[in-house]
Amino acid sequence: MTSTRIPPVSAPDVRRTPDSPPGRDPVDERLPLGRTLTLGLQHVLVMYAGVVAVPLVLAQALGLSAGQTVLLLNANLLVGGAATLVQTLGLWRFGARLPLVQGASFIALSPMLLIGQEHGLTTVFGSVIAAGAVTIAVAPFMSRLVRFFPPVVIGVLITVVGISLMPAAAGWLGGGQGSDDFGSLRNLLLGLLTVVVTVVLHAFGRGLVRSLAVLVALVVGTGVAAVAGATDFSHVADAGWFGVASPLAFGAPHLDLASVLVMSLAMLVILAETTGNVLAIGTITGSPITPRRLGAAFRADGLSTLVGGFLNGFPLNAFSQNTGLIAMTAVRSRFVVAAGGGVMIALGLFPKVGALVAAVPPAVLGGGAIVMFGMTTAAGIQELARVRYTGTNNALVVAVSVSVGVLPMAMPELFAQYDGPVALVLQSGIFLGAIAAVLLNLALNREDRATQGIPGPRSGEADDLTAHELDLLRRAMRVAETSRAEGRHPFGAIVVDGDGIVVAERGNNSLPPAGDPTQHAETAAVAAAARTLSSAQLARATLYTSAEPCAMCAGAVYWTGIGRVVYALSEERLLGLTGDNPENPTFALPCREVFARGQRHVTVVGPLLEEEAAAVHDGFWS
């Protein structure tokens, strides 16, 4: 029997801050309090202009008074900060527990303007509250979309997110669209100064200086702007020290069916963007994104929007700007972002502090944004670089979906004749890019799911194995079918020695009360093989399994000394099938990452024949 030997695979390259202790997930890392607060403030500075832009534009369009405008500003800062705490720290089943900064969504601005001009603010808040409830209700179904986002789709999404943010950066760089000195030499030089300071500190700085490159650059740029008379601190003195808006300050919410439908559609678009942002954060931090985690992020969006509507806030979603900051600083701690949420709450409670932050000139902010948004684009390109292109249609998927995604940015007038719900979809480049990438991937890569992913060890192909080996893998699937027919979970595994002889064959026997939770098909099979074969024979043996070994099973394979694993269904695909089923809380940790931590190499081939393997699970987990 011939076999394909694949070189060892290391774990994902998750960069850590210089003083991060080894072995700890950067997302859960706790930094010193002072540094946490400082880095959290940096996140707020990055997204502050975006947070205040939505209430400012809406207030101006609806002709609100200065007092009402300040009320909306404070309310959205307060709600955004609270939503960030939910998303980062978690609240029961709400919140992804990832470094996601929440703020008022630009996607909802257009429908809110439409509703506000037609019916007034009370109907705006009524539709926001109702749309938040709808979002919570659909979150479990939307979370299953993660299986439609292989690396080629994720890479497209991250790339389009970064590119689509560039018009905002350009607008800030010019001094703010509509300003009298837009595009002036002074504004461009301030932006250039901020870019140079950021690049120099990030490229040559060490430790805290490197992490705070953006914040330091914003401070330097603002200082130079103050000397040049390009910023005004007078409004800081005019702002009050403390102020809290009462709930429903504009009156009792009014429900209008058409308005609720339009806002609910906007929330679906927001969820598509949230998917991209969550997957981007997962890629940058190295944290696995499961349907459960994605659903928790969706529920947090819905809860924050629902409660925020009562508190005079608008629909929220994760801000892409902060994704670039995380990629650039390599500080992945969710507690840093939680600290930023606390700062936002403080800004919402203390208008004078918020006025001080608002003094950062748009041109300076634009300079920092160029670097950060560019880093987001670079993260997408890095993800696409890991995709297999030879012998696949992935190049076509990338070419078309990225092009479609940048259309609204490249030519905003292209869809100007459309309004209402259709305009929401057509004007969102991220949504268009996501839809194009998912559909093209499903249509063009249907025959070989493995080639959607990363070349080499991260994916397997049927051509890597002999016909006899494929038959052995299908035999493991038949064992899974038998296990299901006997009322047990549909998993099967066999162990074959170096001469091609099956020495062990087991189905899953972990289902209580009769079964043992540790008796997965793989653990049972390798244990039986270990009682039959010597250490030298085990090293030449292969485990064929209907699904990728979980962390426990991978550990069992490692300690029994089996030298090779061939699996059909990937852990990621299995997650999409089992969802939140309590009988199988899938451990979303690729077996290669478990093996990579050991001192002995285990060859892994897979996923293979996924459609056949998935068929065994049809209707079982629902």
Q: All domains of the chain, ordered by start, with CATH?
A: 26-236+250-445 (no CATH), 467-616 (3.40.140.10)
Tokens of 511: 């289902």
The contacts found for 531-538 with CB under 8 angstroms, 24 or more apart, are 532/503, 532/504, 533/497, 533/503, 535/561, 537/497, 537/498, 538/562, 538/563
Rounded to whole angstroms, how far apart are CA atoms 568 and 570? 6
Cβ(528)–Cβ(560) under 8 Å?
no
Range picked from 22-36, 80-94, 430-444, 539-553 for highest mean pLDDT: 80-94
Active site residue 481: no
pLDDT of residue 395: 92
Rounded to whole angstroms, how far apart are CA atoms 63 and 68? 10
How confident is the model over 402-431, as pLDDT tens digits? 999 899 888 888 988 887 667 766 877 777
Rounded to whole angstroms, how far apart are CA atoms 265 and 268? 5
Q: Over range 118-137, report the average pLDDT.
A: 94
pLDDT surpassing 90 at residue 124: yes
How confident is the model over 39-61, as pLDDT tens digits? 898 888 777 766 777 887 788 67
Q: Which residue has the higher pLDDT, 114 or 588?
A: 114
How confident is the model over 419-467, as pLDDT tens digits? 766 776 687 777 788 889 989 988 887 644 443 443 333 334 444 566 7
Q: List the catalytic residue out of 273, 469, 505, 522.
A: 522
SS3 of residue 371 by DSSP: helix
pLDDT surpassing 80 at residue 230: yes
How confident is the model over 271-290, as pLDDT tens digits? 877 887 887 787 677 676 76
pLDDT surpassing 80 at residue 329: no
**CA-wise closest residue to 380 among 164, 149, 157:** 157
Q: Are strands 316-318 and 492-496 parallel, antiparallel or unpaired?
A: unpaired
Position 545 confidence tier, pLDDT thresholds 50, 70, 90:
very high
Tokens of 57: 């534009």
Share of the chain above pLDDT 70, in %: 86
Rounded to whole angstroms, how far apart are CA atoms 287 and 99? 11
* Poorest-pLDDT segment among 178-182, 314-318, 328-332: 328-332
Position 25 confidence tier, pLDDT thresholds 50, 70, 90:
low
pLDDT surpassing 90 at residue 543: yes
pLDDT surpassing 70 at residue 193: yes
